[in-house]
Structure 1
Amino acid sequence: MSRRPKISGINLFKVPVTDLSRSTTWWQQVYGARVTTEFASRDGSLKSLYLDVPGLGCPVALEQRPKHAAALAGFRLVDFAVNTRADLESWLVHLDRLGVQHGGVFFGSTGWATRFKDPDGIEHQLYTREKHGQDLAGLPGRERPVS
């Protein structure tokens, strides 16, 4: 039997957007993203941008795809990690300063989290690596370990 090849990480995280300029500004303000690369369509119009997001470890590509962005509205596409609850609370202050509505701090299955939406309504979650120590496994809507 042959061995399955290994994946070594995430090369690119792609997000569809309705308005490339608006979404780029949002990612810059919220995450401190920096534009590193532009891609143009055959007609010369700007099609997508690659962003460097501090701490992420892989580029984020914002791609002008209004129908795809609309289809993902309300869907949580990604959970970004923060180290501690104190770090999460500093994010809430940052989001408040920007006028980005969020869900406050809540108990996740193992850590604390908050959720907020980008300009297209795609949900983002920040989740702590720090554990809260509560055993929520098996409760309705919570994870259930599989052995």
Structure 2
Amino acid sequence: MPQLTGIHHVKFPVSDLAVSRAWYEKVFGFEVTLEFPDSDGVVRGIAGTAKGLGELGLGLREHPAAAAGIKGFDPVSFGIEDKAAADEWAAHLDDLGVPHSSVIDATVGWLLVFHDPDGTEIHLYSFAAHGIDQTGRRGYGRPVVRT
């Protein structure tokens, strides 16, 4: 089987490119490096980088129907280190006036949930595990037993 080498970029559909660009810049330190104009020369998409994502690119594409279609859905979870990082992000979001969940003891690690301007659910999930056995807890994952 051919090998994957990672994730090249993550692209979010948005209804208003200017509003979403400003929000992603404010929340994630998004820096635009590319613009994608349509056939009339109107920029309908942008791509760039965000602090902490390394080589992973982040894109925003104006597509109101798709943005409405994933409202409330979490297409990606961005990684954070641990509970302290989740607490730092909660404080950062508080400073920006961005509503968010409390820090959640999720299936494996700590999780912080909030929404972009279109209602797309953004997850910040820790790579560090909390060690809590959530097996049997409603709405949580459980280990797969391989036979």
Give the TM-score category using the shorter length.
over 0.9
Partner SS, residue 91 of structure 1: helix
Match for residue 83 of structure 1? Answer: 81
Match for residue 18 of structure 1? Answer: 15
Which letter maps to 2:125?
Y
Q: Give, in whole Å, the separation in 2 of the partners of 1:47 and 1:140.
A: 41
1:55 CA displacement: 1.7
Match for residue 134 of structure 1? Answer: 132
Q: Give, in whole Å, the separation in 2 of the partners of 1:18 and 1:139.
A: 36
Match for residue 47 of structure 2? Answer: 50
Residue pairs, 1:1-147, within 5 angstroms: 4-56=1-53, 57-146=55-144, 147=146
1:18 CA displacement: 0.4
Partner SS, residue 10 of structure 1: coil
* Uncovered stretches (5+) of structure 1, i.e. residues with no partner: none
Q: Give, in whole Å, the separation in 1 of the partners of 2:85 and 2:139.
A: 25
Q: Structure 1 runs of 4+ off > 6 angstroms?
A: none
TM-score by length of 2: 0.94
1:14-66 alpha-carbon deviations (Å, 9 max, x no partner): 11000001101111100011001011000010110002012213111100101
Q: Give, in whole Å, the separation in 2 of the partners of 1:13 and 1:127.
A: 16
Task: Indicate the RMSD between aligned Cα atoms, in angstroms.
Answer: 1.0
* Uncovered stretches (5+) of structure 2, i.e. residues with no partner: none
TM-score by length of 1: 0.94
Q: Give, in whole Å, the separation in 2 of the partners of 1:74 and 1:141.
A: 16
Q: Give, in whole Å, the separation in 1 of the partners of 2:130 and 2:31.
A: 33
